[in-house]
């Protein structure tokens, strides 16, 4: 008996959908759970980390030390830098750790000079740009204090650009290196981030900047990546505790190092990725409405 054409077409479509979904599932199961980590020492013996005194940057510093890299920690607070330096050296005695004090929200002329001096004689293979600032209390743009607005632009965007430009020439000479910029899922996984417009805008810059650098320098042996996490329970989002979807920084950092050297843009923590996949099924206007209400409720509380 011959089947009607529409039944045959529907069956083909169904089979194709199942095949596509299976391929997607297998690919991401491999990426998240089976793919081997790159040997980061192949890029160079040293890593430079901004935002190393707290949260994600601090946790990543420990991860890199555990892999045998020596560290140049950048931070604005010398006491906090010293504390992190001591903690890392007591846990990993063979690691050499240098501190460079730079306030990334100020004029960067001196800071860049200090960084250039610090990296002059060492083989820097990894640059992690983790420093970041957000307005903890959500607000409309016209309510945002100018100081906080400018600090976000300087730390999230200007300083990230300047540190990258300072480290790149050394990587170019060696023809190897990897740059990891921490962007945000708020710019790729959801259509908007109302009441955090400046923060989200700076992170969109980080995403675009990273992808351009990757295209520019890939052939020179320099890999650039933008990681786009969703919530991670750090002081930046102090109103939120840790949960299945909001890991502590140490847990996030473990997932983050496994992705270094792979996709130019990635969400490294699998429950974040799951959230991202689910968000694609929801129409933009519903997410925008939900995000705005969430922002407004936090604004009232503040």
Ligand X SMILES: NC(=O)c1ccc[n+]([C@@H]2O[C@H](COP(=O)([O-])OP(=O)(O)OC[C@H]3O[C@@H](n4cnc5c(N)ncnc54)[C@H](OP(=O)(O)O)[C@@H]3O)[C@@H](O)[C@H]2O)c1
Applying CB under 6 A, the residues found at the interface with ligand X are 51, 53-57, 75-77, 80, 103-105, 130-134, 155, 182, 184, 229, 231-232, 234-237, 249
The question of whether 252 is a catalytic residue gets the answer no
Among 28, 30, 43, 199, the active-site one is 199
Output the DSSP codes for 71-102: EEEEES-HHHHHHHHHHHHHHSTT--EEEEE-
Helix axes 249-259, 55-66, angle to 10 degrees: 60
CB of 60 to ligand X, least distance (A): 9
CB of 30 to ligand X, least distance (A): 25
Q: Which is nearer to ligand X, 45 or 254 (CB)?
A: 254
241 vs 212: CA distance, rounded Å? 35
Nearest to 163 by CA among 176, 146, 182: 182
Q: Which is nearer to ligand X, 8 or 295 (CB)?
A: 295
248 vs 42: CA distance, rounded Å? 28
Nearest 5 degrees, angle CA 27-CA 29-CA 34? 105
Helix axes 146-153, 197-217, angle to 10 degrees: 10
Contact 35, 258 (CB under 8 A): yes
Catalytic residues: 199
């Amino acid at each position: 008996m011959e089947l009607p054409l529409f039944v045959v077409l529907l069956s083909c479509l169904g089979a194709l959908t199942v095949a596509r979904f299976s391929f997607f599932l297998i690919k991401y199961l491999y990426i998240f759970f089976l793919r081997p980590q790159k040997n980061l020492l192949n890029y160079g013996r040293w890593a430079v980390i901004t935002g190393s005194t707290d949260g994600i940057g601090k946790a990543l510093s420990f991860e890199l030390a555990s892999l045998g890299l020596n560290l140049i920690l950048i931070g604005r607070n010398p006491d906090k830098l010293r504390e992190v330096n001591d903690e890392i050296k007591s846990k990993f005695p063979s690691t050499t750790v240098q501190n460079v004090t730079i306030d990334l929200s100020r004029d960067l002329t001196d800071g860049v000079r200090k960084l250039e001096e610090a990296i002059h004689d060492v083989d820097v293979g990894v640059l992690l740009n983790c420093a970041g600032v957000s307005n903890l209390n959500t607000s409309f743009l016209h309510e945002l204090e100018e100081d906080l607005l400018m600090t976000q632009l300087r730390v999230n965007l200007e300083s990230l650009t300047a540190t990258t430009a300072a480290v790149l020439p050394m990587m170019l000479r060696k023809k190897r290196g990897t740059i990891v910029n921490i962007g945000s899922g708020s710019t790729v996984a959801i259509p908007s981030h109302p009441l955090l417009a400046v923060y989200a805008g700076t992170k969109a810059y980080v995403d675009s900047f990273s992808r351009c650098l990757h295209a520019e320098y890939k052939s020179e042996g320099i890999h650039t990546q933008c990681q786009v996490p969703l919530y991670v329970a750090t002081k930046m989002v102090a109103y939120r505790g840790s949960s299945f979807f909001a890991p502590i920084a140490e847990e996030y950092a473990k997932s983050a190092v496994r992705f270094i050297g792979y996709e130019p843009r990635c969400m490294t923590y699998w429950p974040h990725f799951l959230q991202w996949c689910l968000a694609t099924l929801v129409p933009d206007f519903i997410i925008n409405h939900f995000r705005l209400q969430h922002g407004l409720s936090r604004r009232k509380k503040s």
